[in-house]
Structure 1
Amino acid sequence: MINSEIKAYLHDFAADDLKKVVVLTGAGISAESGIPTFRGPEGYWRSGSVNYKPQEIGTLKMFKQSPKEVWKWFLFRKTVCDNAQPNPGHVAVAQMEKMLGSARFTLATQNVDGLHLRAGNTLRNTLLIHGDLTHVRCSRPCRKEPMSFPKGFAPKTRETDISDEEWELLKCPHCGALTRPHVLWFDEYYNEDYYKYNTALTRTANADLLIIIGTSGATNLPMSMYNTALDEDVQIMLINLDENLFTRSLELQGGGFILMGKSGEILPEIVSIMRESI
């Protein structure tokens, strides 16, 4: 699956203690754990007779209009993610961090499912650029800091309502306002405080290799990381099942490496090749 040119590059990269990698992951890597992508049919949410796209219900605008409906959708997604298990792709990324060490490795993930951390990646070297499922924030907000997700919720299906007791748990313990998920919604902008926007771009600019896995380039920061890598002559490796904005752009650029296939099959092979030179 991985040709001799890519193998030679990976050997040279791994053998050089000064070379750094940034790994950027999107929904594709977690789809292999059974988590539906937002852009697939399973990402839709039905309320009454209306089918909502994630880009419609996963917004601050919808949260202000129908907070309970948004929380029902989010709690269902959280149940799906909590029940999922890391796959060989997640495990390989964790092994890569352990093998290369903190000075050489950064993970930036769009996924809020927590599977990278459960597979063994460290929070120290992981940039949660779309937030995470383990925290909430006051929607007022009475303070900036995220709070731990409250305990006491039953698993949710698409049909499960939020009980009165659960609704009370979703209120800010400091001011009583409703909390919101600690995630980047579709109508919000990246920032450094919550989503490590500047850190992600700086780490990319200072890297030698950017590996992009399972993301289409449809959101701002991943595309900015890709463009930063191009501007700074950072080697780019794309791993994806299908062609997308990244693959088409890299083909036009005439450089980089494109690996089409399942990340759960390709990433373990990459780690195995790197390990030969460590």
Structure 2
Amino acid sequence: MNVAGEWIGLGKVVALTGAGISTDSGIPDFRGPNGVWTRDPEAMKLSSIEHYVADPEVRRRAWQERLTHPAWGAVPNAAHRALADLDRAGLLDAVITQNIDGLHQRAGLDPARVIELHGTIHETECLQCGARGPMDDTLARVRSGEPDPTCLGCGGMLKSATISFGQQMNMTTLTAAAEASMYCRTFLAIGTSLTVHPAAGLVSVASKQGARIVILNDAETPYDHLADELIREPIGEVLPALVESATAART
């Protein structure tokens, strides 16, 4: 851990964060022993663009799930705050997140440094005209009795502004993530199973360019063989300690 802290202290750090960084905030992961999809395999359909577009019942269930999504009551935890501290210390280039909860920004991280690979649950997007708007406004319509609200502009199908399975990713966002990974000095993979691509492939991008790879995750990943250091300790404990060590070395 001390070695990883030294690497972080050199600056030009990029972090890739997955669901594991937000579990301490009360947001369950998807694939873990108590994950959303582990407990309810049918819930995977809610994250499939094919099922979402084809089945009105899937959309209705998705809107009901959004009403009670744990992100609405979640607050940033120690790991989110640690990355914000790293940013304030001038050591962080970017946080590339697979999460849609917005907790990095709420922790005080500069929004310009957050690359949301899978979008955000805080906005809606029309699949027909591309118009975006506040999720709160659409959820108010659901509460008022619209089980499957449509775009107020064109009447098209609405969904959260997140990337579902089978849905094309935003190439500008993906390019920004790849460039950040290519030019970093240390790459932290935090709380991610590294099984979803193209996000997982960013580890290889960073490694091929000579970056130190540090993986903080409670289970094995397909990219562990590229890691210069593997850490299995609780993220909410180890990440703040690493950041504290790195920033203290600069003072």
Taking structure 1 as the reference length, the TM-score comes to: 0.80
Aligned partner of 1:225 in structure 2 is: 202
Shift of the 180–232 alpha-carbon distance from structure 1 to 2, 3 Å rule, reads same
Shift of the 244–53 alpha-carbon distance from structure 1 to 2, 3 Å rule, reads farther
For residues 202 and 135 of structure 1, what CA distance do their matches in structure 2 show? 26
In the alignment, is residue 113 of structure 1 matched against residue 113 of structure 2?
no
Q: List per-residue Cα deviations over 1:142-179 (Å, max 9, x = no partner).
A: 2x35322242737xxxxxxx5563447x3212112221
Aligned partner of 2:18 in structure 1 is: 26
Aligned partner of 2:237 in structure 1 is: 265
For residues 197 and 146 of structure 2, what CA distance do their matches in structure 1 show? 34
Q: Which 5+ residue runs of structure 2 have no aligned equivalent?
A: none
Q: Which 5+ residue runs of structure 1 have no aligned equivalent?
A: 14-18, 155-161
In the alignment, is residue 190 of structure 1 matched against residue 169 of structure 2?
yes
3-state SS of paired residue (2:72): helix
Aligned partner of 2:4 in structure 1 is: 6
Shift of 1:42: 4.5
Aligned ranges 1:77-226 → 2 under 5 Å: 77=66, 79-100=69-90, 104-139=92-127, 141-142=128-129, 144-151=130-137, 153=139, 162-163=142-143, 165-167=145-147, 170-193=149-172, 196-226=173-203
Shift of the 163–273 alpha-carbon distance from structure 1 to 2, 3 Å rule, reads closer
Taking structure 2 as the reference length, the TM-score comes to: 0.88
For residues 22 and 123 of structure 2, what CA distance do their matches in structure 1 show? 20
Asked if structure 1 preserves the Cα contact closer than 8 Å seen for 2:8 and 2:186, the reply is no
In the alignment, is residue 35 of structure 1 matched against residue 30 of structure 2?
no
Shift of 1:201: 0.3
3-state SS of paired residue (1:70): helix
For residues 122 and 76 of structure 2, what CA distance do their matches in structure 1 show? 16
Asked if structure 2 preserves the Cα contact closer than 8 Å seen for 1:45 and 1:73, the reply is no
Corresponding residue pairs, total: 247
Give the aligned CA root-mean-square deviation in angstroms. Answer: 2.4
